[in-house]
Amino acid sequence: MEVRVCMVALVALVQVASCGRNIEEEDYGVKFATDCEVCKLVAKEVGERLEAKDSSGVIETGYNIDAKKKKTKYNKSELRLVETLEEVCEGMLDYRVHKERKDSTRWAKKMSQTFQTLHSLVNKGVKVDLGIPQELWDEPSAEVAHLKTQCEGFIEDYEEDISDWYFGDQETSLQEAVCLKILEERNCLSQPFGEDIDSNSSEGHKETKRNDKRKKGDSEKTRKSEL
């Protein structure tokens, strides 16, 4: 009887947890990064940070005082990779979520169009009340904070795959070498990065699509009237 009660309680707890996630995502507009987005962003960050650490220097390794130390090119050293992987997830906190976008381009290291507009209004003397102090507007959101945690989990799970790519010939990008291998859903990989999207051109693209829909609707109405 006690076991059955415990099982019922456990099931109820899982259901509550699931409901909590739905409430968080649906009612509060919080949408965490998908597996595809995590892999895409981690691969991007690792690549950029490795490039920033590009050096023709040589490091010496070895712990035996009497033995000759081994010289290794920094660009192919384990040290360069370790330093990069230690930094990459902290860099996720630099991202911002552009909620006006619905695909993976919503992740970008620049202020979203929404907050650009809000800051502009404040600068013009307009009182804007978001329910939080203005100094917290630019703090990492729940999605961004969770992205850092997702990054840490990804590095832990796929560090060996990243190492194989790093110490290999690197003929393909890390995204191709790892993400294409481990992901089932890969749609986000074909989308541009958020930083590559211009807000104005994006709005113009949306307006063009709206106009195309209007024209299509008008032409269909015309055909129906002719019939």
Phi, psi of 114 (to 5 degrees): -60, -50
What pTM value is reported for the model?
Answer: 0.68
Domain residues for the domain of 145 are 17-111+138-214
- Contact by Cβ (8 Å): 92, 45: yes
Write the CA distances from 64 to 69, 87, 165, integer angstroms: 8, 30, 30
- Contact by Cβ (8 Å): 85, 79: no
Write the CA distances from 49 to 86, 95, 195, integer angstroms: 11, 15, 16
Q: Give the number of other CB atoms < 10 A from CB of residue 144.
A: 18
| Backbone CA torsion sign across 214, 219, 223, 226 | positive
Integer Rg of the chain from CA:
24
pLDDT at 116: 57
Q: Evaluate whether residue 33 is within a structural domain.
A: yes
Q: Evaluate whether residue 8 is within a structural domain.
A: no
Q: Evaluate whether residue 71 is within a structural domain.
A: yes
- pLDDT by residue (tens digit) across 214-223? 544 554 554 4
- pLDDT by residue (tens digit) across 157-177? 999 999 999 999 889 999 999
- Contact by Cβ (8 Å): 103, 186: no
Band of the pLDDT at 130, cuts 50, 70, 90?
low
Instruction: Say how many domains are in the chain.
Output: 1
- Per-residue pLDDT, averaged over 98-102, amounts to 89
pLDDT at 27: 58
pLDDT at 55: 75
- Contact by Cβ (8 Å): 182, 39: yes
Three-state SS at 172: coil
Residue with tokens 């859903």: 185
Residue with tokens 């990054």: 151
- Per-residue pLDDT, averaged over 65-77, amounts to 75
- Contact by Cβ (8 Å): 154, 34: no
